[in-house]
Homo-oligomer: A and B are copies of this chain.
Amino acid sequence: MRVAYADTDRAQVVHHATYFRFLEAARMELWRENGFDYNAFEQTTGLGLPVVEARLRYRIAARFDDLLEVETWVSRASRASVWFEGIVRRGNDVLNESSVRVACASFTDGTIRKIPDQLLDACLEPGHGI
């Protein structure tokens, strides 16, 4: 993942909010690799997976044009929510460590729903750190 000019701020490093972009993209790719099409899921079920909790540790600043690697995996998953751990690396350096919890909600009325099987299966696929 290449750091864009637009991702940086006046301190000449990546703005702290931008890491959510990186982590979101990594979750999408994890699902895609596990055969779960999040876009189709939203459109066919009317359900979404909003972030309900997040914890981030910023260790080293990323900079413009850096090539970053974002690793993500599920540490806990239930019908209520799924925790994604994330590590953003530049070469051997760990820049950011995070835990992001998503729940499942209906787009039409905003109510919280049980996480469907197809999503849990895609999260619990072996080989992604559980």
Contacts and interface: CB of A to CB of B under 8 A. Distances in A.
Copies of this chain held together in the complex: 4
Contact of A17 (B2, B9, B17): B17
A110 interface: yes
B57 A52 contact: yes
Please classify how large the interface on chain A is, using the bins under 10, 10 to 19, 20 to 34, 35 or more.
Answer: 35 or more
Contacts of A18: 17
A39 B16 contact: no
B13 A50 contact: yes
A125 B36 CA distance: 42
Interface in A33-69: 38-39, 42, 48, 50-59, 61, 63-65
A53 B56 contact: yes
